[in-house]
Structure 1
Amino acid sequence: MSAPDDWIISSLLEDLAALALASDRVSVADLIETLGARGFGPLLVMLSAFLILPVGMLPGLPGVVAVFMILIGGRMITGKTTLWLPGRLRRVHLSGHVLAVSVARAQPAALWLRPLLAPRLVTFVESGLATRLIALILMATGVLIFLLGFIPGLPFVLSLHVLMLGLAMSTRDGLVAFLAYCMLLPEIVFIWRVFT
């Protein structure tokens, strides 16, 4: 029997797969509990992946993800390290089958990313200034997705820098955080062109 993979992203996917297979319906509260004490990074990876993978096609999910981003950003900017959720949001459910399919599709990408991610340039992800910047980016992204999530493709585009920031926070990789900051400019140009 092989030992479980202890890399944070792989272990996250394994736990989500186990949760998805255990029930036909998975609540947001179950997802947060499964993530445990891993911090906001893995949660951001999961949320952004939801908008990229098949589960993101579920009606209303972009709005739920947007609220999460706003809440996480708000907690980060006040120095909190755990996520508070209103009861109504904790009771939102996802299909266990769709979650399992999404996790299965994410696993090859996680294996591909593993050798590329490492702790480096941690100032870009862990300094006080970086934390506040990431918090503001998350809140702004959440507001945009919440207000404009009905535009086809927009939640996907806006989830890309959030995925990068989540990976950076999970692995203390400041280079990935810096690349996420750089991604904001083409995303802003994309949004500008949509509305002009």
Structure 2
Amino acid sequence: MSRDHDDWILSSLLDDLARLALARDKIRVADVIDTIGARGFGPLLVMLSAFMILPIGMVPGIPGVAAVLMILIGGRMMTGETRLWIPARLGRVEFTGHLLAVSVARAQPVALWLRPFLAPRLPLLIDSLVMSRVVALILMVTGAVIFLAGFIPGLPFVLSLHVLVLGMALSTRDGLAALVGYILLMPEILLIWHLFL
């Protein structure tokens, strides 16, 4: 899978993750963060939410790791930082290269299918200072809920949907996609209210 095949940010990220998966039997969270590099928080959020939808999300502990990373990303966004810092212990969490390869293979056709629907537009809905803080708050609250209640079957999957859409919106500066992500929050909030309140 050459980077020349498709230079779209999500496709190139998946290509790099596929190479990482083929190169190592065991992969650390820190390796994935390094692979994402300077692409920003958007692709990282896409990856985290996709992991909870794809087979890798069934590995015990992965939803919890993804939840902590969402909280950390939200915190960094809230302070205006553009690079993610993670604790060393979290960076050492491992999973198999095979599982990552399978997850990437399932995600690639979806990423290519989504590409025509995403474009820079309505940037005030996603990358203004106010909306950046709103997204940061959404991520921190979502991460906290997943971390505390992720043991409920299917809940991490449901709560990852708006994070996936917001990650794509951040990756492509697509305010319309961000609006869809905000709308997806409504039924998720009602679900949480029904389960816990």
| TM-score normalised by length of structure 1 | 0.97
Shift, 1:56, TM fit: 0.2
Shift, 1:107, TM fit: 0.8
The 3-state SS of whatever aligns with 2:82 is: coil
Read off the aligned partner of 2:132 and give its amino acid letter: T
1:18 corresponds in structure 2 to 19
1:170 corresponds in structure 2 to 171
2:92 corresponds in structure 1 to 91
Partner deviation per Cα, 1:52-74 (whole Å, 9 max, x = no partner): 00000000111100000000000
Read off the aligned partner of 2:82 and give its amino acid letter: T
2:152 corresponds in structure 1 to 151
Which segments of 5 or more consecutive residues in structure 1 lack a partner in the other structure?
none
Answering whether residue 6 of structure 2 is matched by residue 5 of structure 1, we say yes
User: What is the CA–CA distance in structure 1 between the aligned matches of 2:78 and 2:195, rounded to whole Å?
Assistant: 30
Partner deviation per Cα, 1:79-101 (whole Å, 9 max, x = no partner): 10000111101111111100000
2:43 corresponds in structure 1 to 42
Read off the aligned partner of 2:61 and give its amino acid letter: G
Shift, 1:193, TM fit: 2.3
The 3-state SS of whatever aligns with 1:81 is: coil
The 3-state SS of whatever aligns with 2:121 is: coil
Identical aligned pairs, as a percentage? Answer: 69
Where does 1:1-196 land on structure 2 (aligned, <5 Å)?
3-195=4-196
Shift, 1:173, TM fit: 0.3
Read off the aligned partner of 2:25 and give its amino acid letter: D
Which segments of 5 or more consecutive residues in structure 2 lack a partner in the other structure?
none
Partner deviation per Cα, 1:122-163 (whole Å, 9 max, x = no partner): 111100011000000000000000000000000000000000
User: What is the CA–CA distance in structure 1 between the aligned matches of 2:97 and 2:156, rounded to whole Å?
Assistant: 22
Shift, 1:195, TM fit: 3.2
Shift, 1:4, TM fit: 2.7
The 3-state SS of whatever aligns with 1:103 is: helix
The 3-state SS of whatever aligns with 1:180 is: helix
